Amino acid sequence: MNENSGEHTRPICILGLGLIGGSLMRDLAAAGWPVYGWNRSEKTVKAAQRDNFDVSGDLKATLQRAEEDDALVVLGVPMPAMPSMLEALKEHAPTVGFTDVTSVKAEVHALVEEHGLTDRFVGGHPMAGTADSGWKVTMEGLFQGAVWVVTYDNAVVLRDQDEHEGSAVRKRRWLDTWVRVVRMAQKVGADVVTTVSRRHDGAVARISHLPHVMAETLAVAGDAGGPLALTLAASSFRDGTRVAGTAPELVRAMCENNREALLKALDETLETLREARECLADESRDLKELAEEGFAARGRFEARAGRRKGDKTNRPIIRVRPGAAGWVEQLESAESMGAQISIF
Amino acid sequence: MNENSGEHTRPICILGLGLIGGSLMRDLAAAGWPVYGWNRSEKTVKAAQRDNFDVSGDLKATLQRAEEDDALVVLGVPMPAMPSMLEALKEHAPTVGFTDVTSVKAEVHALVEEHGLTDRFVGGHPMAGTADSGWKVTMEGLFQGAVWVVTYDNAVVLRDQDEHEGSAVRKRRWLDTWVRVVRMAQKVGADVVTTVSRRHDGAVARISHLPHVMAETLAVAGDAGGPLALTLAASSFRDGTRVAGTAPELVRAMCENNREALLKALDETLETLREARECLADESRDLKELAEEGFAARGRFEARAGRRKGDKTNRPIIRVRPGAAGWVEQLESAESMGAQISIF
């Protein structure tokens, strides 16, 4: 109903009010955006209502409302709940655009495709959060300065189908959803980085899922040294094993949902470690190569992300005009340099 | 000459005034202990003298002075300088007790043995320091709350030779050196943990050298994902690769000096990672075991070391009476529980 009065007045409908969905609701409401939502658990619904949020436990009614007022739907649910949410979305909100917040993207895109919802979907991955979960840990400001990945898989598909009939309408509608997702992420203070789902999953396998596997492995190796080893352990062990403190079921979910990309990263890692082992075992060789490559790699990371947590990042920012000629190529170019984007 | 007036008035002679040796000098002087030292570089000698420390560039004279006033000699030099220092010590200070501060212990003990100096030596490893080096980075308080490992290899040897002639004198002299090393470490605020060199090296391979190898490997794997991966990298990657920022030559030195123990830890790690890889590749299996073992291991570390850097540690403290009947067994028992010790 507010379709022509500017994207910021059209509502956001959040399904699933855990740490991400709930914190997003807090930030959007604080920014004055119309936002409402649904959660399966009655307890969360009551808690959110007590905090004066517009929240319901009736999924069907919430989706019908979203369809009626052309809300952007945010799926704040974890992966296992995704198929049933897509079914409900298809049935009760048959035209609205939607996004998600899960940490893998190829599997979600495949599910969306299976449900025939590709033209309504823009993938999202806000890279914020803690090991804690539930409405009680939601907070304002969670996304401030965090990266929010937004996918553009469908932009590539639509570009390559330019000649097809009806594609202009499809493109315009999808583009509208895409822009709304980007603006929403920026509204809550996130830096938007755009990519396609396969490359997203390959990257997070390396910089998020592999670090968890490495931390677990290191924790086990240290612990195998018994009390003496744990007593001597200092900051290199502390930092190297920190994320082994993540709940095991969360680690499993993130790793197993990104199986293929993580296997590739893990195989490379095994090869690097085997080579280091051979260099160490052979007294005519040394660890020079690994030590220098690792040092250079860390240096490139620090040049981009700052030396300490909370340092100002140093990423290029590319301005993009959504839908303009060549805009997909612009996104591809921004992605290749690890840039964040802003939109006209 | 001050032999009978209490250990705290006998001087400390520090050879090598880098971060460890220099900071030790600052702390001991601040505590009112007589302390003097030597450094090879004229620049360091001048800088230390400007800071009002009793420092010389003449190794022979410094060692002769140490011999004369029965100083405890602290070898603050890195491993490559160790053989020539032992030669000089043997020649110019033929009776004084001495300790070292290097991060591996078996190799140092072997060198000391080769030089026939075992009865005068107590190994030390203050687990403090940064990637920086030189007099300019020395500071007071560096050892406050840090673990200072003190070895007791020779106590085991002497115990097992109880029946030999002259062993009572040898034992008393070595014990005097051991006590002086422990008191010095405690004087500068360190927590003393005692162990034998082989087990020390096995433990630090797991909790210090392996973390460096893992951090280098993870940094390389993330960097191989290119700019997109580095842009998406957040705290799990940041913490997991922090020590890859250590100077490559330092990493090489610490790893290559502890080759045997690190190989063992690395082989275990490769086995754990290979198993994780197989679990991930086989859809009928999962990462449950690694995720749960890693979580439990990290939990045991946190129970001992606190959750965050700077938290109060929670180690047992065992009181030991050096040289009393059964004291070696007490040290072995303390070591097996990862306890720190205090002495009567």
pLDDT at A163 over 70: no
d(CA B245, CA B313): 26
Among B200, B217, B244, beta carbon nearest to A273: B217
| DSSP category for residue B311 | P
Q: What pairs with residue B73 in β-bridges?
A: B13, B98
Confidence tier at A2 by pLDDT (50, 70, 90): very low
Among B150, B191, B199, B220, the strongest candidate for a mutation testing the A interface, having the largest count of A CBs within 10 A, is B220
| DSSP category for residue A176 | H
Cβ of A281 and B272 within 8 Å? no
Q: What pairs with residue A15 in β-bridges?
A: A38, A75
pLDDT at A196 over 70: yes
- Strands B340-343, B317-320: pairing is parallel
Least confident range of A63-72, A327-336, B6-15 = B6-15
Collapsing DSSP to helix, strand or coil, A30 comes out as: helix
Q: Does B336 touch chain A (CB under 8 A)?
A: yes
Q: Does B202 touch chain A (CB under 8 A)?
A: yes
Cβ of A147 and B234 within 8 Å? yes
Q: Which positions 67-106 of B are in contact with A (Cβ < 8 Å)? A: none
Determine the residue of chain B that is closest to A216 in CA distance. B294
Q: What is the pLDDT of residue A8?
A: 52
Alpha-carbon gap: B81 to the closest alpha carbon of chain A (Å): 20
Alpha-carbon gap: A42 to the closest alpha carbon of chain B (Å): 30
The per-residue b/e assignment along B264-282, b for 16 or more CB within 10 angstroms, e otherwise, is bbbebbbebbeebbebbee
Contact A100, A21 (CB under 8 A): no
> The pTM is what?
0.91
Contact A41, A18 (CB under 8 A): no
Q: What is the mean pLDDT of residues A279-306?
A: 95
Among A149, A220, A235, beta carbon nearest to B272: A220
Residues in chain A closer than 8 A to B193 (CB atoms): 228, 231-232
Cβ of A233 and B305 within 8 Å? yes
Cβ of B265 and A221 within 8 Å? yes
Contact B221, A272 (CB under 8 A): yes
Q: What is the mean pLDDT of residues A273-293?
A: 96
Cβ of A214 and B216 within 8 Å? no
Tokens of B9: 């008035």
Q: What is the mean pLDDT of residues A252-261?
A: 94
Q: What is the pLDDT along chain B (344 residues), one digit of tens a residue?
A: 334 444 458 999 999 999 999 999 999 999 999 999 999 999 999 999 999 999 999 999 999 999 999 999 999 999 999 999 999 999 999 999 999 999 999 999 999 999 999 999 999 999 987 666 789 999 999 999 999 999 999 999 988 876 666 778 888 999 999 999 999 999 999 999 999 999 999 999 999 999 999 999 999 999 999 999 999 998 999 999 999 999 999 899 999 999 999 999 999 999 999 999 999 999 899 999 999 999 999 999 999 988 888 888 889 999 999 999 999 999 999 999 999 999 98
| DSSP category for residue A313 | P
d(CA A303, CA A307): 8
Cβ of A221 and B232 within 8 Å? no
Beta strands in B224-336 (DSSP E): 317-320
| Of residues A168, A175, A179, the one with CA closest to residue A154 | A175
pLDDT at A7 over 60: no
Q: Which positions 128-187 of B are in contact with A (Cβ < 8 Å)? A: 146-147, 149
From residue A299, alpha-carbon distances to A233, A302, B222, B279 in Å are 25, 5, 12, 33
Q: What is the pLDDT of residue B4?
A: 40
From residue A300, alpha-carbon distances to A182, A293, A307 in Å are 27, 11, 10
Interface predicted TM-score of the whole assembly (ipTM), two decimals: 0.93
Determine the residue of chain A that is closest to B251 in CA distance. A291
Alpha-carbon gap: A97 to the closest alpha carbon of chain B (Å): 25
Among B144, B262, B301, the strongest candidate for a mutation testing the A interface, having the largest count of A CBs within 10 A, is B301
Residues in chain B closer than 8 A to A218 (CB atoms): 210-211, 214, 269
H or E element in which residue B64 lies:
helix B59-68
Cβ of A294 and B219 within 8 Å? yes
Cβ of B231 and A298 within 8 Å? no
Alpha-carbon gap: A193 to the closest alpha carbon of chain B (Å): 8
| Of residues B75, B104, B98, the one with CA closest to residue B17 | B75
Contact B275, B267 (CB under 8 A): no
Residues in chain A closer than 8 A to B273 (CB atoms): 213, 217, 266, 269-270, 273
Residues in chain B closer than 8 A to A286 (CB atoms): 252, 256
Confidence tier at A3 by pLDDT (50, 70, 90): very low
Determine the residue of chain A that is closest to B309 in CA distance. A235
Sequence-distant (≥ 6) Cβ neighbours of residue A194 within 8 angstroms:
A149, A150, A151, A152, A320, A331, A334, A335, A341
Cβ of B294 and A265 within 8 Å? no
Cβ of A230 and B287 within 8 Å? no
Block residue for tokens 């290979």: B274
Least confident range of A146-150, A238-242, B163-167, B231-235 = B163-167
d(CA A223, CA B301): 8
Among B213, B230, B291, beta carbon nearest to A304: B230
